[in-house]
Chains A and B, each alone.
Chain A
Amino acid sequence: MSSAYENVVEVRNLCKYFPIKAGLFGRVVGHVHAVENVSFSIKRGTTMGLVGESGCGKTTIGKTLLNLTPKTSGEVIFNGDTHLDMLKGKSLRDFRPKIQIIFQDPYSSLSPRLPVGEIIGEAVREHNLVPESEFDAYISRIMKACGLFDYQKDRYPHEFSGGQRQRICIARAIALNPDFIVCDEPVSALDVSIQAQIINLLEDLQKQFNLTYLFISHDLSVVQHISDTVGVMYLGNMVEYADKAEIFANPLHPYTQALFSAIPVPDPTVKMNRIILEGSIPSPANPPSGCKFHTRCRKCQAVCSQKAPRTMDMGNGHTVACHIYDPESGYENA
């Protein structure tokens, strides 16, 4: 069946523009280029980390993948042949359980009026995944796998702490037996010690159910811990993409270098060679010309503001979008 395909999800030239409306009649006066020409693929059973500053389009990618917001152009292909936006009616309904999402804030993503067992089981019942007679046992098993207790089934979300709520969110996603889960900042609202519990849980579940994750986070150390491949986003573009070991050992794009050097290390003896970026991220409604990063880049040359860089393959699946590595760009390497 579907598991024959190596890539669970393949994204080609994905674009997502949000219209900016103005005036009485809501005339479209421009577009926010939230995601532009992003391509990547995720292998079965692996985790891809997506990092970048706020407003760079990480979350939009996650939502567009699942068709929660329709894409503007490009292709998203699941299991080699499923185009989500072409599915309708029953076939779309049948495919939905395969792809799930875990949101950032466990306080706002759980209905306060439903008991936990119902929250986890609602979609299971809706999709008739297990017969009614086995329903209770199934929910108990899922809850146990996520570190929740059986007796908590009848409780309401407000009785749980942040970490436990995130476990409920994870259980809700896992219960549908998905192939692919988008984790949209699942640990950033949690405390450090709880963060570790949730990260470990996600890793355990991945092994147990052979899950594939898209892990969106702004915390680079978490991404480095959990991911197999890492994509770095800046203002809607993916500026660099590589294996985890490769990208952390050898970051090529000036933005990636600055981003990695900005992470504080919990060791007072380490002296940081910090690259401090000037200014803040420009508005995606009116992005800079040429390379979008040139306004903050310390290696900027004339060519950078004139034309957009091509994505160059540097070997081993390491791609980077920067003029420095493009011999035909006209960038003068000193």
Chain B
Amino acid sequence: MSKKSNETSYISARESRRISRENQKVIRKLDKRLSRKRVPESEYVTQMHDKNNVVEFDNLHTYFFTDVGTVKAVDGVTFNVPVGKTVGIVGESGCGKSVTSLSLMQLVQRPTGQIVEGEIRLNLGDKAFDVAKMPIEAMQKVRGNVVSMIFQEPMTSLNPVFRIGYQLDEVISLHTPEMSPEAVKARSIEAIKMVGIADAEGIYNRYPHELSGGMRQRIVIAMALACNPRLIIADEPTTALDVTIQAQILELLRNLKNEINASIMLITHDLGVIAEMADYVVVMYAGRVVEKGLANEVFLDPRHPYTIGLMQSKPVINKMVDRLYSIPGSVPNPVNMPDYCYFRDRCEQCVERCQGLYPPEIRVTDTHIVSCWKYYKEGGAE
């Protein structure tokens, strides 16, 4: 065995028990807050910093308290989703892009996963809520209504034992209990028609297994749109689909967004999909935002070494290279992250400052922000 074997951190049973006990304490405290009933609205009402945003993530920290240590899945994420725009979040698996969106829905796997710090300000038009402080009871009225979500795997997000129609009706009648059953059915069929399915009445009475993958994903989208949400979170909506079906679904999402004037938060690891759909791009690495900006800025003028590496490592159609660039090493262990730049050990463009603390956000332009010491200038940004 060589020195490298120290990399996998071994934890003794006693140590693990100690961590587990400490976690219990923290989790119990946080859980108690969330499960309270009849909390006055004043506790979680807040002000949007900019009225043109649907959601503002402000220094969000979502941790997982596991028995081997605390995993900081989201570690200080800040970005905004403007009204009517598409924000693409890109990064490798485990970088916290899904956990960020799940935090907004308060769907992070509890009790181990908890929002520890930070604000998620959700714009409801006349008022704004801080999702991070909202109790479960109030959250149920927001989920699927103001914010809705499209998941990666359409088969697992539909219930196989209920008809499509029943599942759609459920969403609508839950959020608008005053609607009559006939009106609910009419609304469901309208939603199915909206996603480009011709035989809406027929599909209404089908079971999910009778549909193809692309059709199922359309139904999931219909379900997400049923209550006219202000924000749609699409978590890898096309990863499980073929390219030709992917093209159909992306086209559909783009058209629908304009039709109902919603914002989209698009989470994917496919840079091609992001480039096509997004107005703004957020690049995440190991739980932090390393670069964000307008799509044109990030794609045409990437600054962070990770973004650059990511773009070079993907083969692009009709753009031949002899050898693909590959970022050396792999993503660091999420338990016990260092206090220096998380990308330092894989970075080929390190400067002297990289030995120090985690880099601050540096403005390249008004909208383009990068967290890298390379662009740091004394007494201000570049």
Contacts and interface: CB of A to CB of B under 8 A. Distances in A.
Contact size class for A?
35 or more
B325 A196 contact: yes
Nearest to B324: A196
Nearest to B323: A200
Interface string A254-281: 0000111111111111101010110011
Interface string B290-325: 000001100110000000011101111110110111
B180 interface: no
A195 B275 contact: no
A276 B316 CA distance: 20
Interface string B14-52: 000000000000000000000000000000000000000
A234 B88 CA distance: 32
B334 interface: no
B58 interface: no
B247 A262 contact: yes
Interface stretch (B1-9, B68-76, B154-162, B361-369): B1-9
B316 A266 contact: yes
Contact of B316 (A161, A199, A265, A269): A265
A220 interface: yes
Interface stretch (B117-125, B200-208, B266-274, B372-380): B266-274
B93 A191 contact: yes
B248 interface: yes
Contacts of B313: 192-193, 195-196
B327 interface: yes
Interface stretch (A5-13, A176-184, A221-229, A320-328): A221-229
A264 B272 contact: yes
B275 A265 contact: yes
A192 B271 contact: yes
Contacts of B5: 151
B96 to A, nearest CB: 14
B244 interface: yes
A267 B272 CA distance: 7
A292 B363 CA distance: 54
Interface in A278-295: 280-281
Nearest to A54: B242
Given A159-B8, A163-B330, A274-B247, A265 B323 contact: no
A248 interface: yes
Contacts of B4: 149, 151
A272 B318 CA distance: 14
A197 interface: yes
A258 B275 CA distance: 20
Nearest to A274: B247
Contacts of B295: 268
Interface in B91-115: 92-93
Interface of A: 53-54, 149-151, 159, 161, 163, 191-197, 199-200, 203, 218, 220-222, 224-225, 248, 258-270, 272, 274, 276-277, 280-281
Given A151-B1, A193-B92, A265-B316, 4 more contacts: A151-B4, A193-B310, A225-B320, A263-B317
